[in-house]
Chain A
Protein backbone atom coordinates (compact mmCIF):
# COMPACT_ATOMS: atom_id res chain seq x y z
CA UNK A 1 0.00 0.00 0.00
CA UNK A 2 2.77 2.37 0.94
CA UNK A 3 4.67 1.66 -2.30
CA UNK A 4 1.50 2.21 -4.32
CA UNK A 5 0.97 5.55 -2.69
CA UNK A 6 4.66 6.32 -3.21
CA UNK A 7 4.39 5.53 -6.92
CA UNK A 8 1.35 7.74 -7.31
CA UNK A 9 3.17 10.59 -5.63
CA UNK A 10 6.10 10.19 -8.01
CA UNK A 11 3.72 10.34 -10.96
CA UNK A 12 2.29 13.62 -9.73
CA UNK A 13 5.64 15.36 -9.54
CA UNK A 14 6.57 14.06 -12.98
CA UNK A 15 3.39 15.59 -14.39
CA UNK A 16 3.95 18.86 -12.61
CA UNK A 17 7.50 19.14 -13.98
CA UNK A 18 6.06 19.11 -17.48
CA UNK A 19 3.20 21.39 -16.69
CA UNK A 20 5.72 23.83 -15.24
CA UNK A 21 6.73 24.57 -18.81
CA UNK A 22 3.23 25.81 -19.61
CA UNK A 23 3.27 28.38 -16.85
CA UNK A 24 6.78 29.55 -17.74
CA UNK A 25 5.93 30.40 -21.33
CA UNK A 26 5.38 33.99 -22.27
CA UNK A 27 2.03 35.43 -23.32
CA UNK A 28 3.57 38.03 -25.59
CA UNK A 29 3.27 37.68 -29.35
CA UNK A 30 5.97 35.29 -30.58
CA UNK A 31 8.08 36.04 -33.66
CA UNK A 32 6.98 32.95 -35.59
CA UNK A 33 3.26 32.83 -34.99
CA UNK A 34 1.99 31.64 -38.37
CA UNK A 35 0.89 28.15 -39.27
CA UNK A 36 1.05 26.98 -42.90
CA UNK A 37 -2.34 27.06 -44.62
CA UNK A 38 -1.66 23.63 -46.08
CA UNK A 39 -1.12 22.12 -42.65
CA UNK A 40 -4.23 23.72 -41.23
CA UNK A 41 -6.38 22.81 -44.24
CA UNK A 42 -5.26 19.19 -43.87
CA UNK A 43 -6.17 19.22 -40.17
CA UNK A 44 -9.55 20.84 -40.76
CA UNK A 45 -10.42 18.42 -43.55
CA UNK A 46 -9.56 15.52 -41.27
CA UNK A 47 -11.65 17.02 -38.45
CA UNK A 48 -14.65 17.29 -40.77
CA UNK A 49 -14.18 13.77 -42.07
CA UNK A 50 -13.84 12.45 -38.51
CA UNK A 51 -16.96 14.29 -37.39
CA UNK A 52 -18.96 13.07 -40.37
CA UNK A 53 -18.52 9.50 -39.21
CA UNK A 54 -19.98 10.33 -35.84
CA UNK A 55 -23.04 12.42 -36.64
CA UNK A 56 -26.45 11.67 -38.07
CA UNK A 57 -27.10 14.66 -40.27
CA UNK A 58 -26.08 18.05 -41.54
CA UNK A 59 -27.44 19.91 -38.51
CA UNK A 60 -25.42 17.65 -36.22
CA UNK A 61 -22.28 18.20 -38.27
CA UNK A 62 -22.70 21.96 -38.08
CA UNK A 63 -23.28 21.68 -34.33
CA UNK A 64 -20.11 19.65 -33.91
CA UNK A 65 -18.03 22.14 -35.90
CA UNK A 66 -19.61 24.89 -33.85
CA UNK A 67 -18.50 23.18 -30.66
CA UNK A 68 -14.95 22.82 -31.91
CA UNK A 69 -14.95 26.49 -32.85
CA UNK A 70 -16.12 27.37 -29.34
CA UNK A 71 -13.04 25.77 -27.83
CA UNK A 72 -10.86 27.90 -30.08
CA UNK A 73 -12.91 31.04 -29.54
CA UNK A 74 -12.62 31.26 -25.80
CA UNK A 75 -8.84 30.86 -25.89
CA UNK A 76 -8.30 33.32 -28.74
CA UNK A 77 -10.47 35.88 -27.01
CA UNK A 78 -8.71 35.77 -23.64
CA UNK A 79 -5.28 35.90 -25.25
CA UNK A 80 -6.14 38.80 -27.58
CA UNK A 81 -7.67 40.78 -24.75
CA UNK A 82 -4.52 40.24 -22.71
CA UNK A 83 -2.30 41.52 -25.53
CA UNK A 84 -4.35 44.68 -25.97
CA UNK A 85 -2.87 47.92 -24.69
CA UNK A 86 -5.27 48.07 -21.76
CA UNK A 87 -6.87 44.91 -20.41
CA UNK A 88 -10.58 45.52 -20.11
CA UNK A 89 -13.88 43.78 -20.62
CA UNK A 90 -16.49 44.25 -23.32
CA UNK A 91 -20.12 44.24 -22.34
CA UNK A 92 -21.83 46.10 -25.16
CA UNK A 93 -22.96 44.42 -28.35
CA UNK A 94 -21.44 46.88 -30.80
CA UNK A 95 -18.04 46.99 -29.14
CA UNK A 96 -17.89 43.20 -29.02
CA UNK A 97 -18.69 42.96 -32.72
CA UNK A 98 -16.11 45.57 -33.65
CA UNK A 99 -13.52 43.75 -31.56
CA UNK A 100 -14.31 40.45 -33.30
CA UNK A 101 -14.16 42.09 -36.71
CA UNK A 102 -10.82 43.74 -36.20
CA UNK A 103 -8.62 42.22 -33.52
CA UNK A 104 -9.76 38.60 -33.55
CA UNK A 105 -9.95 38.28 -37.32
CA UNK A 106 -6.55 39.94 -37.68
CA UNK A 107 -5.02 37.58 -35.16
CA UNK A 108 -6.45 34.49 -36.81
CA UNK A 109 -6.38 35.37 -40.50
CA UNK A 110 -4.07 38.39 -40.89
CA UNK A 111 -6.88 40.57 -42.25
CA UNK A 112 -9.98 42.22 -40.89
CA UNK A 113 -13.41 40.83 -41.60
CA UNK A 114 -14.81 42.45 -44.67
CA UNK A 115 -17.97 43.97 -43.34
CA UNK A 116 -20.18 44.27 -40.31
CA UNK A 117 -23.85 44.98 -40.76
CA UNK A 118 -27.16 44.99 -38.98
CA UNK A 119 -30.14 43.25 -40.49
CA UNK A 120 -32.94 45.56 -41.58
CA UNK A 121 -35.79 43.19 -40.81
CA UNK A 122 -34.89 42.10 -37.29
CA UNK A 123 -33.34 44.36 -34.72
CA UNK A 124 -31.40 41.61 -33.03
CA UNK A 125 -29.55 40.21 -36.02
CA UNK A 126 -26.06 41.25 -37.01
CA UNK A 127 -23.88 39.97 -39.84
CA UNK A 128 -20.14 39.59 -40.22
CA UNK A 129 -18.99 38.97 -43.78
CA UNK A 130 -15.78 37.39 -44.93
CA UNK A 131 -15.24 37.40 -48.68
CA UNK A 132 -12.71 34.62 -48.75
CA UNK A 133 -12.14 32.81 -45.49
CA UNK A 134 -8.71 31.25 -45.93
CA UNK A 135 -9.50 28.27 -43.74
CA UNK A 136 -12.40 27.22 -45.99
CA UNK A 137 -10.49 27.46 -49.24
CA UNK A 138 -9.77 23.76 -49.47
CA UNK A 139 -13.06 22.40 -48.15
CA UNK A 140 -15.43 21.34 -50.94
CA UNK A 141 -19.05 20.53 -50.20
CA UNK A 142 -20.74 17.81 -52.33
CA UNK A 143 -24.06 18.64 -53.99
CA UNK A 144 -26.10 16.38 -51.74
CA UNK A 145 -24.95 18.37 -48.71
CA UNK A 146 -25.32 21.79 -50.25
CA UNK A 147 -26.99 23.21 -47.17
CA UNK A 148 -23.92 22.53 -45.04
CA UNK A 149 -21.79 25.57 -44.52
CA UNK A 150 -18.20 24.81 -43.53
CA UNK A 151 -18.14 28.23 -41.91
CA UNK A 152 -19.77 26.57 -38.91
CA UNK A 153 -16.28 26.46 -37.45
CA UNK A 154 -15.99 30.25 -37.69
CA UNK A 155 -19.49 30.58 -36.29
CA UNK A 156 -18.39 28.61 -33.24
CA UNK A 157 -15.47 30.96 -32.65
CA UNK A 158 -17.76 33.98 -32.83
CA UNK A 159 -20.36 32.36 -30.61
CA UNK A 160 -17.82 31.67 -27.86
CA UNK A 161 -16.65 35.28 -27.91
CA UNK A 162 -20.19 36.63 -27.82
CA UNK A 163 -20.93 34.44 -24.82
CA UNK A 164 -17.80 35.62 -22.99
CA UNK A 165 -18.91 39.22 -23.44
CA UNK A 166 -22.25 38.57 -21.78
CA UNK A 167 -24.09 38.81 -25.12
CA UNK A 168 -25.13 35.22 -25.79
CA UNK A 169 -26.28 34.70 -29.34
CA UNK A 170 -27.28 31.99 -31.76
CA UNK A 171 -24.62 32.11 -34.44
CA UNK A 172 -24.92 30.46 -37.82
CA UNK A 173 -22.91 30.73 -40.98
CA UNK A 174 -24.24 30.94 -44.51
CA UNK A 175 -22.53 30.59 -47.84
CA UNK A 176 -23.54 33.40 -50.20
CA UNK A 177 -21.43 33.01 -53.33
CA UNK A 178 -21.10 36.28 -55.17
CA UNK A 179 -19.43 37.66 -58.28
CA UNK A 180 -15.83 36.45 -58.15
CA UNK A 181 -16.13 35.36 -54.52
CA UNK A 182 -17.39 31.78 -54.53
CA UNK A 183 -16.55 31.32 -50.88
CA UNK A 184 -18.18 34.44 -49.47
CA UNK A 185 -19.44 33.54 -46.03
CA UNK A 186 -21.83 35.49 -43.86
CA UNK A 187 -21.87 34.83 -40.13
CA UNK A 188 -25.25 35.68 -38.71
CA UNK A 189 -25.58 36.48 -35.00
CA UNK A 190 -29.01 36.45 -33.45
CA UNK A 191 -28.74 37.89 -29.98
CA UNK A 192 -30.94 36.69 -27.14
CA UNK A 193 -33.90 38.75 -26.08
CA UNK A 194 -32.36 39.69 -22.71
CA UNK A 195 -29.30 41.08 -24.47
CA UNK A 196 -31.42 43.39 -26.64
CA UNK A 197 -33.47 44.47 -23.64
CA UNK A 198 -30.31 45.29 -21.74
CA UNK A 199 -28.94 47.23 -24.70
CA UNK A 200 -32.13 49.29 -24.88
CA UNK A 201 -31.96 50.02 -21.16
CA UNK A 202 -28.32 51.04 -21.29
CA UNK A 203 -28.89 53.20 -24.35
CA UNK A 204 -31.85 55.03 -22.90
CA UNK A 205 -30.05 55.38 -19.57
CA UNK A 206 -27.30 57.38 -21.27
Chain B
Protein backbone atom coordinates (compact mmCIF):
# COMPACT_ATOMS: atom_id res chain seq x y z
CA UNK B 1 0.00 0.00 0.00
CA UNK B 2 1.43 3.33 -0.96
CA UNK B 3 1.33 6.12 1.57
CA UNK B 4 -0.76 8.82 0.01
CA UNK B 5 -2.14 11.92 1.64
CA UNK B 6 -4.68 14.39 0.39
CA UNK B 7 -4.71 17.76 2.10
CA UNK B 8 -7.40 20.38 1.60
CA UNK B 9 -8.11 23.78 3.10
CA UNK B 10 -11.84 24.52 3.09
CA UNK B 11 -12.94 28.09 3.76
CA UNK B 12 -15.65 29.28 6.10
CA UNK B 13 -18.08 29.41 3.20
CA UNK B 14 -17.36 25.74 2.33
CA UNK B 15 -15.38 26.46 -0.81
CA UNK B 16 -11.96 24.83 -1.21
CA UNK B 17 -9.08 27.29 -0.85
CA UNK B 18 -6.19 24.95 -1.43
CA UNK B 19 -5.64 21.29 -2.28
CA UNK B 20 -2.50 19.17 -2.37
CA UNK B 21 -1.54 15.54 -2.67
CA UNK B 22 1.55 14.07 -1.10
CA UNK B 23 3.27 10.77 -1.51
CA UNK B 24 2.80 8.31 -4.31
CA UNK B 25 -0.62 8.75 -5.80
CA UNK B 26 -2.58 7.16 -8.58
CA UNK B 27 -4.46 9.55 -10.83
CA UNK B 28 -7.82 7.82 -10.65
CA UNK B 29 -8.09 8.16 -6.89
CA UNK B 30 -7.93 11.96 -6.76
CA UNK B 31 -11.64 12.42 -7.30
CA UNK B 32 -12.43 9.83 -4.67
CA UNK B 33 -10.22 11.68 -2.16
CA UNK B 34 -12.05 14.93 -2.82
CA UNK B 35 -15.39 13.21 -2.43
CA UNK B 36 -14.55 11.55 0.87
CA UNK B 37 -13.18 14.77 2.36
CA UNK B 38 -16.22 16.69 1.21
CA UNK B 39 -18.49 14.15 2.84
CA UNK B 40 -16.52 14.44 6.06
CA UNK B 41 -17.23 18.19 6.28
CA UNK B 42 -20.63 17.48 7.83
CA UNK B 43 -19.06 15.45 10.60
CA UNK B 44 -16.61 18.28 11.27
CA UNK B 45 -19.54 20.62 11.79
CA UNK B 46 -21.08 18.21 14.27
CA UNK B 47 -17.87 17.98 16.24
CA UNK B 48 -17.44 21.75 16.14
CA UNK B 49 -19.61 22.52 19.14
CA UNK B 50 -18.52 19.68 21.35
CA UNK B 51 -15.03 21.01 22.03
CA UNK B 52 -13.08 24.25 22.18
CA UNK B 53 -9.97 22.69 20.74
CA UNK B 54 -8.75 23.34 17.23
CA UNK B 55 -7.53 19.85 16.46
CA UNK B 56 -10.45 17.46 16.02
CA UNK B 57 -8.72 14.18 15.61
CA UNK B 58 -10.16 11.65 13.21
CA UNK B 59 -13.66 12.64 12.28
CA UNK B 60 -14.41 10.04 9.65
CA UNK B 61 -13.26 6.69 8.33
CA UNK B 62 -13.69 5.32 4.85
CA UNK B 63 -12.37 1.79 4.20
CA UNK B 64 -8.68 2.20 5.03
CA UNK B 65 -8.61 5.95 5.02
CA UNK B 66 -9.09 8.30 7.97
CA UNK B 67 -10.06 11.91 7.66
CA UNK B 68 -8.56 14.20 10.29
CA UNK B 69 -9.60 17.80 10.71
CA UNK B 70 -8.28 20.97 12.30
CA UNK B 71 -10.51 24.02 12.56
CA UNK B 72 -9.00 27.49 12.87
CA UNK B 73 -10.63 30.17 15.05
CA UNK B 74 -12.19 31.76 11.97
CA UNK B 75 -13.84 28.51 10.92
CA UNK B 76 -11.43 27.57 8.16
CA UNK B 77 -11.05 23.80 8.03
CA UNK B 78 -7.79 22.00 7.31
CA UNK B 79 -8.62 18.43 6.29
CA UNK B 80 -6.21 15.57 5.78
CA UNK B 81 -7.05 12.22 4.24
CA UNK B 82 -4.54 9.62 5.40
CA UNK B 83 -4.06 6.01 6.30
CA UNK B 84 -3.27 5.11 9.89
CA UNK B 85 -0.75 7.59 11.18
CA UNK B 86 0.47 8.86 14.53
CA UNK B 87 -1.65 11.70 15.84
CA UNK B 88 1.26 13.83 16.97
CA UNK B 89 2.83 14.21 13.56
CA UNK B 90 -0.53 15.12 12.06
CA UNK B 91 -1.17 17.63 14.83
CA UNK B 92 2.22 19.30 14.22
CA UNK B 93 1.55 19.33 10.49
CA UNK B 94 -1.79 21.05 11.06
CA UNK B 95 -0.35 23.60 13.47
CA UNK B 96 2.35 24.64 11.04
CA UNK B 97 -0.15 24.82 8.19
CA UNK B 98 -2.32 27.04 10.39
CA UNK B 99 0.62 29.37 10.91
CA UNK B 100 1.21 29.65 7.16
CA UNK B 101 -2.49 30.28 6.63
CA UNK B 102 -2.36 33.16 9.12
CA UNK B 103 0.64 34.64 7.35
CA UNK B 104 -1.21 34.40 4.03
CA UNK B 105 -4.24 36.04 5.64
CA UNK B 106 -2.12 38.97 6.85
CA UNK B 107 -1.56 39.96 3.24
CA UNK B 108 -3.98 42.88 2.76
CA UNK B 109 -4.42 41.94 -0.86
CA UNK B 110 -5.55 38.43 -0.02
CA UNK B 111 -9.32 38.27 0.09
CA UNK B 112 -10.42 35.97 2.95
CA UNK B 113 -12.12 32.81 1.68
CA UNK B 114 -10.61 33.08 -1.76
CA UNK B 115 -8.34 30.39 -3.26
CA UNK B 116 -4.70 30.50 -2.22
CA UNK B 117 -2.69 30.63 -5.42
CA UNK B 118 0.74 31.53 -4.11
CA UNK B 119 3.57 29.38 -5.38
CA UNK B 120 5.53 30.00 -2.20
CA UNK B 121 2.67 28.72 -0.06
CA UNK B 122 2.57 25.56 -2.14
CA UNK B 123 6.30 25.04 -1.65
CA UNK B 124 6.03 25.55 2.09
CA UNK B 125 3.19 23.06 2.47
CA UNK B 126 5.11 20.49 0.48
CA UNK B 127 8.14 21.00 2.72
CA UNK B 128 5.95 20.50 5.79
CA UNK B 129 4.53 17.34 4.31
CA UNK B 130 8.01 15.97 3.73
CA UNK B 131 8.94 16.86 7.29
CA UNK B 132 5.95 15.43 9.13
CA UNK B 133 4.13 12.98 6.89
CA UNK B 134 6.49 11.24 4.52
Contact = CB atoms under 8 A, between A and B. Distances in A.
A77 B100 contact: no
A77 B75 CA distance: 11
Nearest to A26: B103
Contacts of A19: 107, 118-121
Interface residues of B, number: 29
B41 interface: no
B103 A77 contact: no
B112 to A, nearest CB: 5
Contacts of A3: none
B43 interface: no
Centre residue among A13, A25, A79 by max chain B CB count within 10 A? A79
Interface residues of A, number: 28
A22 B12 CA distance: 23
Nearest to A87: B54
A202 B50 CA distance: 10
Interface string B113-132: 00000111101100000000
B5 to A, nearest CB: 21
B74 A23 contact: no
Contacts of A41: none
A25 B105 CA distance: 13
Interface in B43-57: 48-49, 52-54
Interface string A162-201: 0011100000000000000000000000000000001000
9 contacts: A19-B120, A23-B100, A25-B103, A71-B112, A75-B106, A78-B72, A82-B99, A89-B48, A164-B12
Interface of B: 12, 48-49, 52-54, 71-75, 95, 98-100, 102-108, 112, 118-121, 123-124
